[in-house]
Structures are given as C-alpha cells and as structure tokens.
Structure 1
Amino acid sequence: MQPNRRIFIFQATTACLAVPAIAQTAPVDETSDTAVALGYKHDTALVDTAKFPKHQASQHCANCQFWQAKPTDAWSHCAMFGRKAQVANKGWCNAWVKAPG
C-alpha cells in the first residue's frame, strides 16, 4: 500500500521540523569564541580561578538565573548562549548570577 500524498506531505513536514530541534540540543563547545570569552566550563571545578576570581565552587549553571530548565536537569539552554547549544548543570561561566529564590 502506497501512502497517499497528504500522508507523505505530513511526514515530510514533521521530519523537517524535527531536524532543527535535534540540532539545537548539542552541548556548548568550550573552545567556541563565546565560551572562551565567558570562561565557560562544563564542570565548575575546572574553572581557572586566577582568570575568574569571582568564581566560587558553589556556583554552577543550575543555580544561575540564566538556566532555563529544572534545576535537576543535566543540560539546559542558557540565555548567554541562545538556543543553539546547551550548558551543563554543573557548568559555570563568568556571566553567572544567583537565581532568585
């Protein structure tokens, strides 16, 4: 049985819409220009405290106001990086600001 034209168009449209959503979930590349400028690391323990003296071990992406997911999620979008990549829960960057509450 061959799918009819409507089913084909629906399936093709659904597949095309899914591709950008998948592409947007890649982790931030720590070597990207934005990540380097912000001092972003996937692990807050690896932050160079000589370069970023305001860093404290208790600071991480999941307790920052720019974190856009639940605090328990492993990865999230971040306002500093837009919707192109995700930051790690235990990550950190120089734009860190304590989340309200």
Structure 2
Amino acid sequence: MRAITITYAYSGDETVWRTAIDAFVSALDADEKLDGRFSYQVAVADDKETRIHWGRWDTAETLAHVQSQPYFKDFADKIREFAGGAPTATGHDIVTKTGNW
C-alpha cells in the first residue's frame, strides 16, 4: 500500500480551512470508483498550526483516478494557499499496521 504524508503550517481562518478539508473528504467518500481503495485523514498538531494529512491507496491506478478529478485539483490549490506555497510531501510504503486503519 502506498501513502503520503503532507505537512504545513496554517494559522488562518479555521472555518475556511475546515470547509476545504470537509469538501475534499466528502468528494472522496462520494466517488464510487474508490470504494475503500483510498483513505484520507487530516489532523491539527498540538501547536494548533501544524497540519498533517495522510493519504493511502491500493494501486497507482487509484491514485491516478483521484489526481484526475476536479475535486483533487481544487483541493491541491487550496492546500498550496493554506501552506503559503508547496507543503512538505513525503511518499512512502506502508510496511505494517494494526487493525483496519
């Protein structure tokens, strides 16, 4: 399973940020082609500014599908705005995990 961790600092309007996050997650949940093949989580660190996103997917085709959708382009643009440029993105392979997470 492939994954990405995205981090950036954001101290702007929480409502604007949360609306963008919720819209993206809703679009992912509504995308019938994904059906459990792509997951996304977002967290705010204890410092209240560092934002952490985790995406996980099963195949390169699944990732290509997500990246080809208008909702992805809109979200990626918003994240660059929130981050004040390109956020830090680290791709990785999942080696092991607990349960269904």
Question: Counting helix residues as a fraction of each chain, which structure ranks higher?
Answer: 2
Question: When the two structures are superposed, what TM-score results if normalisation uses the length of structure 1?
Answer: 0.22
Larger RCO (CA under 8 A, 6+ residues apart): 2
Question: When the two structures are superposed, what TM-score results if normalisation uses the length of structure 2?
Answer: 0.22
Question: Counting strand residues as a fraction of each chain, which structure ranks higher?
Answer: 2
